[in-house]
Amino acid sequence: MLGHRSRPKKGEWRIPCGIGVWAESSESAFSMDSGTTASAVWTAEDTLLLTIRLYETPMRLTLPCRFQGDTLTVDGTVIGIFGPPEVRLQGRQVAPKSAG
């Protein structure tokens, strides 16, 4: 099982995500009093498609995650909110800091 983790100003959201199945959570996410269901499928060798839905709302996030070497790019769509419907995130894998 995968998970999405976000650290907004008020706390932290953890959203469990199933691979090929829906994983449900009753925890509130995105500052809304709504549980979530999330699923992921591989659509290509380098692309994992995450879908997150919030219960009792029209909100849905569709997040294609593309892996290329040590780079991850997420070009997503948010349905059911006011404001920009597209999301773009990009990150790089970094070596963990050594303890000591």
State residue 58's pLDDT score: 81
- Nearest by Cα to 65 from 30, 17, 100, 9: 17
State residue 8's pLDDT score: 47
**Cα–Cα distance for residue pair 96/42, rounded to 1 Å:** 27
Tokens found for residue 19: 């691979």
Contacts of 45 by beta carbon, 8 Å cutoff, 6+ apart: none
Mean pLDDT of 47-65: 86
**Cα–Cα distance for residue pair 21/39, rounded to 1 Å:** 6
Q: How many CB atoms lie within 10 A of CB 86?
A: 8
Tokens found for residue 62: 């569709």
**Cα–Cα distance for residue pair 84/48, rounded to 1 Å:** 23
Q: Is the pTM of this model over 0.85?
A: no
The number of residues in the chain equals 100
- Whether pLDDT at 95 is above 70: yes
